[in-house]
Amino acid sequence: MSTKITWVNGCFDVLHIGHIKLFQKAWELGNPVIVGIDGDDRIRQSKGDGRPVNSIHDRVSFLKSIKYIKEVIPFHSDEDLNAIIKRFSPEYFVIDEE
């Protein structure tokens, strides 16, 4: 098992099998897998007033229940995101291209 950190981030508002496969691929590259998750206001700004469907609390809980994910960290701005990434210094970044 690798000890290299893999970073994934996104809103992960409505989880689906593609997300699970993404997390599995991330875990295979290096683990632990750390997931950064957009805050509710950030999602609302980018996707509109009807989003997110699920609150930050629920999204964090869903993600923490996935066996491939070690830690879930909410962020609310680009500055937050950059600071978190610097703190963990991940070896790999996995991006959802959908």
What pLDDT is recorded for position 2? 52
Q: What is the mean pLDDT of residues 80-96?
A: 93
The pTM of the full predicted model, rounded to 2 decimals, is: 0.91
H or E segment at 24?
Answer: helix 17-29
- In the block, tokens 């950064």 appear at 36
The domain made up of 6-94 is a member of CATH 3.40.630.10: no
Domain boundaries, the chain: 6-94
Those residues whose C-beta lies under 8 Å from the C-beta of residue 20, and which sit 6 or more positions away, are 66, 68
Per-residue pLDDT tens over the stretch 34-80: 999 999 999 999 999 999 999 999 999 999 999 999 999 999 999 99
